[in-house]
Structure 1
């Protein structure tokens, strides 16, 4: 049986912490920032833990 390949796109989007949590960047802070208030853009900074409903799928895509 061939080796399981990890999804390279998912590998670029998420990071696995030392404790095993999967973290991602918040969406919506790439372009069209002039129209968004500074309150909104500040809220979009930083990383958040991937939703519990998505963790199983993301781990499978990472090959874990």
Structure 2
């Protein structure tokens, strides 16, 4: 896997490290990104992907007649 180098403000990196309990800025950013992506996958699993053709169909059933 390729590595990417990103520059961040030191105060931002330290705040993230403290909030999630990481020992290095690299670990903190990696954990946040992994959590963000996992949350997106869970949301798609529940609501469906935007390319899902059934997403926009009307799922309401027609009223029953004859009662």
TM-score (normalizing by structure 1):
0.26
Larger % of strand: which? 1
Larger % of helix: which? 2
TM-score (normalizing by structure 2):
0.25
Q: Which has the larger radius of gyration?
A: 2
Higher relative contact order (CA 8 A, sep 6+): 1
